[in-house]
A and B are shown apart, each in its own frame.
Chain A
Amino acid sequence: SAVISQKPSRDICQRGTSLTIQCQVDSQVTMMFWYRQQPGQSLTLIATANQGSEATYESGFVIDKFPISRPNLTFSTLTVSNMSPEDSSIYLCSSRAVSGDTQYFGPGTRLTVL
């Protein structure tokens, strides 16, 4: 099984600022993903982080708002840019070794935007 860590675990930010969330997996994985969970809601996929190339974004999410990097097989970052109170959510990093394999989740980053 993969162990995923995220930093920071929580943050309170002012509107208009940006926050970068780091995700580290303890083993090399093929797939890394970023999800958002708004208060009281289910998880929604933001994007698939691709190693060495641009992330693949889901409908409703754009690179200018959520730039993602993945420089290697074990590390990825998600930036939430120009934040507004509507961005207050839990952001979760996830990984999977191969298609059809168990998908694991990090502990999440709880973001509050004032």
Chain B
Amino acid sequence: GIQVEQSPPDLILQEGANSTLRCNFSDSVNNLQWFHQNPWGQLINLFYIPSGTKQNGRLSATTVATERYSLLYISSSQTTDSGVYFCAASSGYSTLTFGKGTMLLVSP
């Protein structure tokens, strides 16, 4: 099946800083999603982005399908951005395979 790798595994930021999270995948995909898992365990959809670029407020994401990677940008980070960010991908009729996540801590 498809392999998903995320980097960095951990990230510590000061409030207001910007960051870029990366997701590499091993095969062509028809589904790529970014999630945020908050400290209470809730998994929140951020982006459905098998290709192209999307923006939602301070967050944006870009997937370059031909080069098999996706990037999640967080600008002007806030303490509420803390948590684990997961990238997940699938191809064909398979279900999502998750990466190991990036744990983000934003300090005041």
Q: Which residues of A contact B (CB under 8 A)?
A: 1, 31, 33, 37, 41-45, 48, 90, 92, 94, 96, 99-105, 107-108, 110
Contact code string B75-105 (vs A, CB < 8 Å = 1, else 0): 0000000000010101011011111110000
List, in ascending order, chain A residues with CB within 8 A of B93's CB. 99
**With an 8 A cutoff between CB atoms, is B42 at the interface?**
yes
- Asked if B43 is an interface residue, CB under 8 A from chain A, the answer is yes
B41 within 8 A of partner (CB): yes
Query: Which residues of chain B have a CB within 8 Å of any CB of chain A?
Result: 30-31, 33, 35, 41-43, 45, 48, 50, 86, 88, 90, 92-93, 95-101
Q: Which secondary structure dominates chain A's binding surface?
A: strand
Q: Judging by beta carbons under 8 Å apart, are A42 and B43 in contact?
A: no
Contact A45 B41, CB 8 Å, known A100-B50, A102-B48:
no
Please name all residues of chain B whose beta carbon is closer than 8 Å to the beta carbon of A90 when the two chains form the complex. 41
Q: Which residues of A have CB within 8 Å of B97?
A: 45
Contacting pair A100 B95 (CB below 8 A): no
The residues of B that contact A96 with a CB separation of less than 8 Å are 95
CB <8 Å contact, A42 and B99 = yes
Residues of B within 8 A of A92 (CB): 43
Question: Closest Cβ of chain A: how far from B3's Cβ, in Å?
Answer: 13
Could you list 24 A-B pairs, sorted by A, with CB under 8 Å? A1-B45, A31-B95, A41-B100, A42-B86, A42-B99, A42-B100, A43-B88, A43-B98, A45-B96, A92-B43, A94-B95, A94-B96, A99-B92, A99-B93, A101-B31, A101-B48, A102-B31, A102-B33, A102-B45, A103-B33, A103-B90, A103-B96, A105-B45, A108-B43
